[in-house]
């Protein structure tokens, strides 16, 4: 992606190297995505959607998940995030796909998307989640969806057919 202007102050950016940019006001920007995880928690053909309690996209929905912490692998991160945000216990997780996102607060994101229909507990919103709702697959990428998850419904359909 070609970056021309600072996302914080709109000043022109100078490219320092293939990932590092800086503007005249000294704002640094790195064009390398951070690893995030999210999960499709399935029950009876529906999936668990988390309403965002914070910006960006406050009030819109996403899959439960979050950032991978330093020294943590993706599987551990999704288990931790699901417990923090939903109170659920995941018994098994399967890698489903990945999704790259454009910039959020000067950071590119790359979601590692998991799938599970092997979990226990009662979904209870916590952490940065305002509510949890069971939704049909067609809800992903609706006007109420926070991020572009273009390839996720197809990956879910393939998984549900196995």
Instruction: Give per-residue pLDDT as tens, 99-148.
Output: 877 655 556 788 999 999 999 999 999 999 999 999 999 999 999 999 88
Measured at the alpha carbon of residue 52, what is the angle toward residues 156 and 122, in degrees to the nearest 5?
65
Instruction: Give per-residue pLDDT as tens, 15-46.
Output: 898 788 899 999 988 777 789 999 999 999 99
- Give residue 137's pLDDT: 93
| Report for 19-28, 90-99, 146-155: range of highest mean pLDDT | 90-99
Confidence category of residue 150, pLDDT binned at 50, 70, 90: confident
The least confident of 43-57, 70-84, 103-117 is 103-117
pTM for this model (two decimals): 0.81
Query: Measured between alpha carbons, how far is residue 138 from residues 22, 46, 49, 133, 156 in Å?
Result: 40, 10, 12, 14, 11
């Amino acid at each position: 992606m070609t970056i021309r202007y600072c996302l914080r102050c709109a000043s022109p950016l100078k490219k320092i190297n293939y990932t590092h940019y800086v503007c005249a006001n000294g704002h640094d920007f790195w064009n390398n995505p951070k690893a995030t995880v999210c999960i499709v928690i399935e029950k009876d053909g529906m999936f668990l959607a988390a309403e965002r309690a914070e910006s960006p996209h406050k009030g819109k929905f996403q899959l439960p998940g979050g950032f991978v912490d330093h020294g943590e692998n993706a599987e551990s991160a999704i288990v931790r995030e699901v417990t923090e945000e939903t109170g659920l216990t995941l018994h098994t997780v399967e890698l489903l796909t990945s999704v790259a996102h454009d910039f959020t607060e000067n950071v590119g994101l790359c979601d590692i998307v998991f799938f599970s229909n092997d979990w226990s507990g009662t979904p209870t919103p916590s952490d940065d989640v305002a509510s949890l709702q069971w939704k049909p697959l067609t809800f992903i990428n609706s006007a109420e969806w926070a991020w572009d998850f273009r390839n996720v419904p197809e990956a879910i359909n393939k998984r549900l057919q196995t």
